[in-house]
Amino acid sequence: MLATSVTGTDHRSHDSADRAAAAAPPPLYTIGSSDSERDRLRSQTDELHEHSVALLQRVGIQQGWKVLEIACGPRGVLELLTEHVGPTGAVTGLDINPVHVAQARRHATALGLGNVTVLEADARRSTLPAGSFDLVYARLILVNVPDPERVVSEMVRLVKPGGWLACEEADCGAMLCQPPHPAYSRLTDTLLALYRHDGADILIGRRLHQLLDVAGVIDIGVEARADVPPPGHPRRTVILDILQAMRTKITEQGLLNTTELDALDRDARTHLADSGTMIMPHLSFMAWGRKPF
Protein backbone atom coordinates (compact mmCIF):
# COMPACT_ATOMS: atom_id res chain seq x y z
CA MET A 1 0.00 0.00 0.00
CA LEU A 2 1.38 3.38 -0.97
CA ALA A 3 -1.15 5.57 0.79
CA THR A 4 -3.10 4.97 3.99
CA SER A 5 -4.88 7.52 6.14
CA VAL A 6 -4.05 7.43 9.82
CA THR A 7 -7.75 7.58 10.60
CA GLY A 8 -8.33 4.31 8.79
CA THR A 9 -5.43 2.26 10.12
CA ASP A 10 -6.03 -0.89 12.15
CA HIS A 11 -3.82 -0.66 15.25
CA ARG A 12 -4.70 -4.01 16.88
CA SER A 13 -1.51 -5.76 15.76
CA HIS A 14 1.13 -3.08 16.32
CA ASP A 15 3.90 -5.36 17.55
CA SER A 16 3.54 -7.94 14.79
CA ALA A 17 3.31 -5.22 12.16
CA ASP A 18 6.47 -3.58 13.45
CA ARG A 19 8.32 -6.90 13.43
CA ALA A 20 7.24 -7.62 9.87
CA ALA A 21 8.22 -4.12 8.78
CA ALA A 22 11.59 -4.43 10.48
CA ALA A 23 12.32 -7.56 8.42
CA ALA A 24 12.12 -5.50 5.21
CA PRO A 25 15.35 -4.35 3.50
CA PRO A 26 16.90 -1.38 5.33
CA PRO A 27 16.33 2.07 3.81
CA LEU A 28 19.12 4.00 2.14
CA TYR A 29 19.74 6.29 5.11
CA THR A 30 23.21 6.71 6.57
CA ILE A 31 22.33 6.59 10.27
CA GLY A 32 20.21 3.47 9.87
CA SER A 33 17.05 2.42 11.70
CA SER A 34 17.80 1.08 15.16
CA ASP A 35 15.51 1.48 18.17
CA SER A 36 17.89 4.09 19.58
CA GLU A 37 17.73 6.06 16.33
CA ARG A 38 13.92 6.05 16.37
CA ASP A 39 14.00 7.33 19.96
CA ARG A 40 16.45 10.03 18.94
CA LEU A 41 14.26 11.12 16.03
CA ARG A 42 11.21 11.41 18.27
CA SER A 43 13.11 13.59 20.74
CA GLN A 44 14.58 15.66 17.91
CA THR A 45 11.16 17.14 17.16
CA ASP A 46 11.07 18.88 20.53
CA GLU A 47 14.75 19.80 20.48
CA LEU A 48 14.49 21.58 17.11
CA HIS A 49 11.03 23.03 17.62
CA GLU A 50 12.18 26.65 17.51
CA HIS A 51 14.01 26.07 14.23
CA SER A 52 10.96 24.45 12.67
CA VAL A 53 8.67 27.28 13.77
CA ALA A 54 11.07 29.88 12.38
CA LEU A 55 11.34 28.08 9.04
CA LEU A 56 7.57 27.83 8.67
CA GLN A 57 7.31 31.55 9.43
CA ARG A 58 9.76 32.27 6.61
CA VAL A 59 7.47 30.65 4.06
CA GLY A 60 4.30 32.15 5.54
CA ILE A 61 2.43 28.88 5.98
CA GLN A 62 -1.33 29.46 6.02
CA GLN A 63 -4.58 27.86 7.07
CA GLY A 64 -5.97 25.56 4.42
CA TRP A 65 -2.64 24.63 2.84
CA LYS A 66 -1.80 21.12 1.69
CA VAL A 67 1.64 20.28 3.11
CA LEU A 68 4.01 17.35 2.64
CA GLU A 69 6.79 16.44 5.06
CA ILE A 70 9.26 14.08 3.40
CA ALA A 71 11.24 11.62 5.53
CA CYS A 72 9.00 12.36 8.49
CA GLY A 73 10.34 9.43 10.51
CA PRO A 74 8.32 8.16 13.48
CA ARG A 75 7.06 11.64 14.38
CA GLY A 76 8.52 14.46 12.35
CA VAL A 77 6.74 17.80 12.64
CA LEU A 78 3.32 16.48 11.70
CA GLU A 79 1.54 18.07 14.67
CA LEU A 80 3.24 21.43 14.11
CA LEU A 81 2.24 21.44 10.45
CA THR A 82 -1.33 20.49 11.38
CA GLU A 83 -1.45 23.35 13.87
CA HIS A 84 -0.52 25.81 11.13
CA VAL A 85 -2.77 24.56 8.32
CA GLY A 86 -5.79 24.12 10.60
CA PRO A 87 -8.85 21.94 10.06
CA THR A 88 -9.28 23.13 6.47
CA GLY A 89 -5.75 22.08 5.53
CA ALA A 90 -4.14 18.68 5.06
CA VAL A 91 -0.78 17.26 6.10
CA THR A 92 0.95 14.30 4.49
CA GLY A 93 3.96 12.56 6.00
CA LEU A 94 6.16 10.38 3.80
CA ASP A 95 8.89 7.93 4.81
CA ILE A 96 10.62 5.00 3.14
CA ASN A 97 10.94 3.03 6.38
CA PRO A 98 7.80 0.95 7.10
CA VAL A 99 8.47 0.90 10.85
CA HIS A 100 8.61 4.70 10.89
CA VAL A 101 5.43 4.88 8.85
CA ALA A 102 3.58 2.64 11.29
CA GLN A 103 4.79 4.63 14.28
CA ALA A 104 3.99 7.99 12.68
CA ARG A 105 0.47 6.81 11.92
CA ARG A 106 -0.03 5.75 15.53
CA HIS A 107 1.43 9.03 16.75
CA ALA A 108 -0.96 11.06 14.60
CA THR A 109 -3.92 8.95 15.67
CA ALA A 110 -3.02 9.28 19.36
CA LEU A 111 -3.02 13.07 18.98
CA GLY A 112 -6.31 13.06 17.09
CA LEU A 113 -4.76 14.55 13.95
CA GLY A 114 -7.58 13.62 11.62
CA ASN A 115 -6.23 15.59 8.66
CA VAL A 116 -2.89 13.74 8.61
CA THR A 117 -2.02 10.95 6.18
CA VAL A 118 1.22 8.98 6.39
CA LEU A 119 2.58 7.25 3.29
CA GLU A 120 5.30 4.71 2.70
CA ALA A 121 7.33 5.90 -0.28
CA ASP A 122 10.82 6.86 -1.44
CA ALA A 123 11.48 10.61 -1.22
CA ARG A 124 13.51 10.36 -4.43
CA ARG A 125 10.61 8.92 -6.45
CA SER A 126 7.37 9.04 -4.50
CA THR A 127 4.99 8.51 -7.48
CA LEU A 128 2.63 11.08 -5.91
CA PRO A 129 0.94 13.40 -8.42
CA ALA A 130 2.97 16.41 -9.47
CA GLY A 131 1.97 19.83 -8.16
CA SER A 132 -0.01 18.40 -5.23
CA PHE A 133 1.20 20.59 -2.35
CA ASP A 134 1.44 24.22 -1.30
CA LEU A 135 4.54 23.41 0.76
CA VAL A 136 7.03 20.55 0.78
CA TYR A 137 9.10 20.43 3.97
CA ALA A 138 12.29 18.46 4.67
CA ARG A 139 14.45 18.29 7.78
CA LEU A 140 17.77 16.49 8.16
CA ILE A 141 17.24 14.12 5.26
CA LEU A 142 19.52 15.59 2.58
CA VAL A 143 22.55 15.24 4.87
CA ASN A 144 21.85 11.53 5.30
CA VAL A 145 21.42 10.34 1.70
CA PRO A 146 24.00 9.95 -1.08
CA ASP A 147 21.91 11.64 -3.77
CA PRO A 148 20.33 14.78 -2.26
CA GLU A 149 19.80 16.30 -5.70
CA ARG A 150 17.22 13.63 -6.50
CA VAL A 151 15.31 14.41 -3.31
CA VAL A 152 15.26 18.13 -4.07
CA SER A 153 14.14 17.43 -7.63
CA GLU A 154 11.25 15.35 -6.30
CA MET A 155 10.33 18.10 -3.85
CA VAL A 156 10.14 20.59 -6.72
CA ARG A 157 8.02 18.20 -8.77
CA LEU A 158 5.53 17.71 -5.95
CA VAL A 159 4.99 21.37 -5.04
CA LYS A 160 2.48 23.52 -6.91
CA PRO A 161 3.68 26.32 -9.18
CA GLY A 162 4.17 29.26 -6.83
CA GLY A 163 4.33 26.89 -3.86
CA TRP A 164 7.11 26.70 -1.31
CA LEU A 165 9.99 24.39 -0.43
CA ALA A 166 11.56 24.51 3.03
CA CYS A 167 14.66 22.63 4.18
CA GLU A 168 16.63 22.44 7.41
CA GLU A 169 19.96 20.67 7.31
CA ALA A 170 23.04 20.21 9.45
CA ASP A 171 26.57 21.18 8.48
CA CYS A 172 29.29 19.52 10.56
CA GLY A 173 32.16 21.49 9.05
CA ALA A 174 32.22 23.78 12.07
CA MET A 175 31.95 21.31 14.95
CA LEU A 176 33.47 22.88 18.04
CA CYS A 177 34.43 21.42 21.39
CA GLN A 178 36.29 23.72 23.77
CA PRO A 179 38.44 22.67 25.43
CA PRO A 180 39.19 19.89 22.94
CA HIS A 181 39.14 16.30 24.10
CA PRO A 182 40.85 13.36 22.35
CA ALA A 183 37.85 11.03 22.80
CA TYR A 184 35.41 13.49 21.26
CA SER A 185 37.85 14.25 18.43
CA ARG A 186 38.28 10.53 17.68
CA LEU A 187 34.52 10.04 17.59
CA THR A 188 33.87 13.01 15.31
CA ASP A 189 36.56 11.67 12.95
CA THR A 190 34.71 8.35 12.98
CA LEU A 191 31.46 10.09 12.07
CA LEU A 192 33.10 11.85 9.13
CA ALA A 193 34.53 8.54 7.91
CA LEU A 194 31.10 6.88 8.05
CA TYR A 195 29.49 9.60 5.99
CA ARG A 196 32.28 9.57 3.42
CA HIS A 197 31.94 5.79 3.10
CA ASP A 198 28.21 6.09 2.37
CA GLY A 199 28.61 8.98 -0.07
CA ALA A 200 26.57 11.33 2.12
CA ASP A 201 27.62 14.97 2.46
CA ILE A 202 27.97 15.97 6.10
CA LEU A 203 28.60 19.55 4.89
CA ILE A 204 25.29 19.71 3.01
CA GLY A 205 24.00 22.73 4.93
CA ARG A 206 26.26 25.16 3.11
CA ARG A 207 25.06 23.76 -0.23
CA LEU A 208 21.33 24.17 0.38
CA HIS A 209 21.10 27.41 -1.58
CA GLN A 210 22.93 25.85 -4.52
CA LEU A 211 20.78 22.71 -4.50
CA LEU A 212 17.59 24.77 -4.63
CA ASP A 213 18.96 27.15 -7.25
CA VAL A 214 20.06 24.35 -9.59
CA ALA A 215 16.62 22.75 -9.20
CA GLY A 216 15.00 25.95 -10.49
CA VAL A 217 13.70 27.29 -7.18
CA ILE A 218 13.32 31.09 -6.99
CA ASP A 219 13.14 33.69 -4.19
CA ILE A 220 15.56 31.63 -2.14
CA GLY A 221 16.34 32.66 1.42
CA VAL A 222 18.96 31.18 3.75
CA GLU A 223 19.58 31.43 7.48
CA ALA A 224 22.29 29.74 9.55
CA ARG A 225 22.15 29.11 13.28
CA ALA A 226 25.00 28.14 15.58
CA ASP A 227 23.41 26.51 18.62
CA VAL A 228 25.52 26.05 21.75
CA PRO A 229 23.48 23.72 23.98
CA PRO A 230 24.11 24.04 27.73
CA PRO A 231 25.01 21.13 30.03
CA GLY A 232 22.12 18.71 30.33
CA HIS A 233 20.55 19.66 26.99
CA PRO A 234 19.99 16.61 24.75
CA ARG A 235 21.51 18.30 21.69
CA ARG A 236 24.80 18.52 23.58
CA THR A 237 25.47 14.83 22.92
CA VAL A 238 23.76 14.53 19.52
CA ILE A 239 26.96 13.44 17.73
CA LEU A 240 27.57 10.75 20.34
CA ASP A 241 23.95 9.60 20.15
CA ILE A 242 24.11 9.30 16.37
CA LEU A 243 27.28 7.22 16.64
CA GLN A 244 25.58 4.91 19.14
CA ALA A 245 22.84 4.37 16.55
CA MET A 246 25.57 3.43 14.06
CA ARG A 247 27.43 0.98 16.33
CA THR A 248 27.05 -1.98 13.99
CA LYS A 249 28.27 -0.02 11.00
CA ILE A 250 31.28 1.27 12.96
CA THR A 251 32.41 -2.20 13.96
CA GLU A 252 31.64 -3.77 10.57
CA GLN A 253 33.82 -1.18 8.85
CA GLY A 254 36.60 -1.80 11.34
CA LEU A 255 36.74 1.81 12.48
CA LEU A 256 36.49 0.88 16.17
CA ASN A 257 35.74 -2.26 18.12
CA THR A 258 32.99 -2.27 20.74
CA THR A 259 35.42 -1.90 23.64
CA GLU A 260 37.08 1.12 22.04
CA LEU A 261 33.74 2.68 21.13
CA ASP A 262 32.34 2.27 24.63
CA ALA A 263 35.45 3.74 26.25
CA LEU A 264 35.53 6.73 23.90
CA ASP A 265 31.82 7.33 24.35
CA ARG A 266 32.14 7.24 28.14
CA ASP A 267 35.08 9.66 28.18
CA ALA A 268 33.47 12.04 25.70
CA ARG A 269 30.18 12.14 27.63
CA THR A 270 32.05 12.88 30.86
CA HIS A 271 33.80 15.78 29.12
CA LEU A 272 30.54 17.16 27.68
CA ALA A 273 28.85 16.94 31.08
CA ASP A 274 31.40 19.38 32.47
CA SER A 275 29.95 22.90 32.73
CA GLY A 276 33.33 24.24 31.64
CA THR A 277 33.03 22.58 28.23
CA MET A 278 31.52 24.51 25.32
CA ILE A 279 30.07 22.40 22.51
CA MET A 280 28.61 23.32 19.13
CA PRO A 281 27.68 20.01 17.46
CA HIS A 282 26.99 21.52 14.03
CA LEU A 283 25.65 24.52 12.19
CA SER A 284 21.97 24.46 11.26
CA PHE A 285 21.09 25.89 7.85
CA MET A 286 17.53 26.76 6.88
CA ALA A 287 16.68 27.46 3.24
CA TRP A 288 13.39 28.21 1.55
CA GLY A 289 12.13 29.24 -1.86
CA ARG A 290 9.28 29.02 -4.38
CA LYS A 291 8.62 26.98 -7.48
CA PRO A 292 8.19 29.31 -10.45
CA PHE A 293 4.67 29.85 -11.81
- The pLDDT tens digits of the residues spanning 5-29 come to 333 333 333 444 334 333 333 336 7
Give the distance from CA 49 to its chain's centroid.
Answer: 13
Burial of 276 (0-12, 13-18, 19+ CB in 10 A): exposed
Contact 284, 223 (CB under 8 A): no
The whole-number average pLDDT for the span 53-75 is 96
**What pLDDT is recorded for position 71?**
93
Provide the phi-psi class of 163: left if phi over 0, else alpha when psi is between -120 and 50, else beta. Answer: beta
For residue 269, pLDDT over 90 is answered with yes
**What pLDDT is recorded for position 101?**
95
For residue 46, pLDDT over 70 is answered with yes
3-170+201-226+283-290 folds as Rossmann fold (3.40.50)
For residue 243, pLDDT over 90 is answered with yes
Residues, the chain: 293
| Count of CB atoms situated within 10 Å of the CB of 244 | 17
pTM metric for this prediction = 0.86
Q: What percent of the chain has pLDDT over 70?
A: 90
**What pLDDT is recorded for position 1?**
26
**What pLDDT is recorded for position 102?**
94
The residue among 28 and 181 whose pLDDT is bigger is: 181
Burial of 184 (0-12, 13-18, 19+ CB in 10 A): buried
